[in-house]
Structures are given as structure tokens and as C-alpha cells.
């Protein structure tokens, strides 16, 4: 386990910490028993500092970036030789640029009060303990109460000073925000008030998916930026949340060889069978009309479910249709003088009347009771 100590800047009290989560309640120096080489990275989340070791162990310092009565907190690394290294952090959220400066003692980081630094050997590195104890008696005398500036080396500028390109963002639902950005960057999504509602690391292929902790309301505008490891922030992209699903599509009676109907223009129409297997999909045209030809027509009696999904991923309620591949029984025809032609057949069936040459001379749809009546424009000749 990593050795952790929290030292009060005001009182000089040191507390050994046995867990890897620390909550700071006053200005403090956090002393971590790791060398610079054992640090994998440091990350800012709000006002918290998250330190990740090469070993995979994680330390969370809650409230590290909070100013207590105008005094900041400091983080000091202690390596195996007892050398001390003061961490200086770049600005921004997410992965932080970190510089290290060697220090002989923690004493200058404390708020000088009337306590004797000579009896606090833990303030200095192991190799300098004797010298620090001998000369510390007068060094900790009363002061102004403000922090003492330490002569530290300037924080090295990140080698990458170029911000990532503006991310792309797809039409978004309240459930997920997707798009593309520079691989390895962190995509952060905020609402119109500036509150962060979610973040994600961009995959090697440039894609990202952010799932908000609390789904934003329909119509709200979201802002999306990409932040690289050097802390550079891209220009923002914006998207308006669409959480309203498309209307229920229509589907025409079908024998399974072709499935047609109407849906929201531009939506993706997906047809599944009774077991949930997708048997075809297409995009509805500008007029809303769609047509799907399954590679293998479903069997007679199969109940089809037709769902329309918009660009934001919202899905409609399903429409259903039952595959009917059984021809209706032959219609009955009542005696007629040529017009109208009446009779009965399967309810809803389309009745077509042709002359002896095969020309269609009229048609009608049978009613719910199976009765039909076809009125011809010009009655056929007798016989």
C-alpha cells in the first residue's frame, strides 16, 4: 500500500492515512510515498485530485483544489531515497500536465505559526533529517500567517500545445451522445448552464459514446469539447437533444415477399419476425414510403413487427402485420345484367373483373361481411 500522510499547514500536525481516499478539511500538504517515475498520471475531477500509480493503485484526494481561507493545498512525492518533489499542476479539468521541483523541506509550504519545526523531522527528506532538526528551531518562528513562496522550477510546458479539432456529434437522444474526436482525448459534455453531464475517452478509431448520469430534457442544447492529455481544449460542438420517438409506422397487408408502408421520412425502418430476428431494414424516403424485400420470405402466418428509428436513436412503438400467403377462396358472383357485378368473397379482398379478352374493366374491395359490388363504366355486351 502507498504511504500517505496529510500535514496541516496551520498546525503542522501530521496524520498517517490508511486508505487511498482522503477528504481535506483544511489547507494541507499531502505527502505521497511514490517517486516521479512511479506516477502514471494525475487527473482533476471537479475539485478532486486523482493520482494513478504505475502499479494501478489509485489515490483520490477530495477537495484538493479547494482554497481554504485563501491557502492552497500541495502535493509532495517522497522517493525511496527520501528526496522530496513538489508537484505543480497545469490548469483545466481531466488529465493534468504536472511539473516537479526538488525541495529540501516541507516547512516553507506551511503557514508559519508558533510551533517548533525542530521537533518535526517528518517535514524534510530522510537524507537531510539531522541538518533540518539542528537548524529548524528558529526557522519556524511566528510569521504573517500567509504561505511562503517556494523557489521552484518553472512548470514545463506540454509538448503538445495544439488543441484537438472540433469533435463531431451525431443527433443525440437523452440516453447517449455519440460522435468522433481525436483518439485518446477526453470528450466532455455540458448542458447550457455549463454543468458537466458526462464524459468518455475517445476510442482508437475516433468514436466516443457519452451516457449522461441524468438524461437531459428534450430540446436542451448540449456542448461537446475534446480535451487532450496536455489540457488543450477543442472548439465546442453543439447538439439539441431529441428524445421524442417517431410515430408508429404503417404496414400494408403482405405475403412476405415485399413489406411496404409509410414511416417518418428519413427514419430507419426495421422488420423483425416473431422471434425478434431482423429480416430486413431500409430508410424511409422523403415522402415516408418504405419497401423491404426479405432475402428469404417469412412463412405464412408469421407476425411481423415494424419499428421506425430516428437519427437520434429514438424508436417508435411497433406496427404489426401477419404474413398471408394463402389465396382466398373463389368469389361468388350473382346473376347480373352487366352492371353492377356483385357477390361475396374473403373480407378485405380485392375483387377484379375482366372481360373475355383479359382486360380489367372494374375492381372493388370486399367489405367486412365479404360482400362486394363492382360498378362498370360501360356495361359489357349481352353474353
Closest listed residue to residue 168, CA positions, set 183, 180, 178, 182: 180
- Average pLDDT by stretches of 10, the chain with 383 residues: 87 82 89 91 87 88 86 91 88 83 87 51 41 35 36 41 90 91 92 86 93 90 88 89 94 94 96 92 95 93 95 93 87 84 89 86 90 83 65
| Domains of the chain, CATH where assigned | 3-111 (no CATH), 168-241 (2.60.40.10), 250-323 (2.60.40.10), 332-374 (no CATH)
How confident is the model over 249-264, as pLDDT tens digits? 999 999 999 999 999 9
- 231-270 as b/e, with b when 16 or more CB fall inside 10 Å? bbbbeebebebbbebbebbbbeebebeebbbbbbeebbbb
How confident is the model over 144-174, as pLDDT tens digits? 333 333 333 333 344 557 889 999 999 988 8
What's the order of all strands across the beta sheet hosting 196-201?
196-201, 186-190, 221-227, 237-240
For residue 112, the model assigns a pLDDT of: 64
For residue 268, the model assigns a pLDDT of: 96
* Residue 138 to residue 141: CA distance in whole angstroms: 6
- 85-118 as b/e, with b when 16 or more CB fall inside 10 Å? bbbbbbeebbbbbbbbbebebbbbbbbbeebebb
Amino acid at each position: 500500500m502507498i504511504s500517505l500522510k496529510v500535514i496541516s499547514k496551520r498546525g503542522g500536525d501530521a496524520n498517517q492515512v490508511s486508505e487511498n481516499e482522503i477528504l481535506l478539511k483544511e489547507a494541507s500538504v499531502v505527502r505521497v510515498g511514490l517517486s516521479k517515475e512511479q506516477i502514471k498520471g494525475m487527473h482533476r475531477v471537479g475539485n478532486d485530485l486523482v493520482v494513478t500509480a504505475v502499479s494501478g493503485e489509485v489515490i483520490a484526494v477530495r477537495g484538493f483544489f479547494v482554497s481554504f481561507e485563501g491557502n492552497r493545498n500541495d502535493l509532495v512525492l517522497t522517493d525511496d531515497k527520501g528526496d522530496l518533489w513538489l508537484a505543480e499542476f497545469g490548469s483545466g479539468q481531466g488529465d493534468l500536465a504536472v511539473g516537479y521541483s526538488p525541495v529540501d523541506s516541507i516547512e516553507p509550504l506551511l503557514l508559519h505559526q508558533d510551533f517548533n519545526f525542530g521537533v518535526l523531522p517528518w517535514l524534510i527528506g530522510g537524507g537531510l533529517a539531522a541538518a533540518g532538526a539542528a537548524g529548524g528551531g528558529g526557522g519556524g518562528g511566528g510569521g504573517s500567517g500567509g504561505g511562503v513562496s517556494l523557489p521552484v522550477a518553472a512548470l514545463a510546458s506540454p509538448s503538445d500545445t495544439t488543441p484537438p479539432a472540433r469533435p463531431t456529434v451525431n443527433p443525440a437522444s437523452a440516453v447517449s451522445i455519440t460522435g468522433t474526436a481525436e483518439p485518446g482525448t477526453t470528450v466532455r459534455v455540458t448542458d447550457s448552464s455549463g454543468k458537466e453531464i458526462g464524459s468518455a475517452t475517445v476510442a482508437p478509431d475516433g468514436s466516443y459514446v457519452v451516457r449522461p448520469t441524468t438524461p437531459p430534457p428534450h430540446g436542451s442544447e448540449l456542448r461537446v469539447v475534446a480535451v487532450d492529455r496536455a489540457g488543450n481544449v477543442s472548439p465546442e460542438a453543439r447538439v439539441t437533444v431529441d428524445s421524442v420517438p417517431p410515430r408508429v409506422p404503417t404496414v400494408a397487408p403482405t405475403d412476405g415477399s415485399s413489406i411496404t408502408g409509410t414511416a417518418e421520412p428519413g427514419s430507419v425502418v426495421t422488420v423483425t419476425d416473431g422471434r425478434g430476428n431482423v429480416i430486413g431494414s431500409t430508410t424511409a424516403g422523403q415522402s415516408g414510403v418504405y419497401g423491404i424485400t426479405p432475402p428469404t420470405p417469412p412463412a405464412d402466418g408469421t407476425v411481423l413487427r415494424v419499428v421506425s428509428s430516428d437519427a437520434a436513436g429514438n424508436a417508435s412503438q411497433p406496427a404489426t402485420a401477419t404474413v398471408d400467403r394463402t389465396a382466398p377462396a373463389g368469389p361468388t358472383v350473382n346473376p347480373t345484367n352487366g352492371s353492377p357485378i356483385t357477390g361475396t368473397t374473403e373480407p378485405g379482398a380485392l375483387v377484379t373483373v375482366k372481360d373475355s379478352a383479359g382486360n380489367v374493366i372494374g375492381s372493388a374491395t370486399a367489405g367486412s361481411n365479404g360482400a362486394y359490388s363492382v360498378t362498370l363504366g360501360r356495361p359489357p355486351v349481352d353474353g
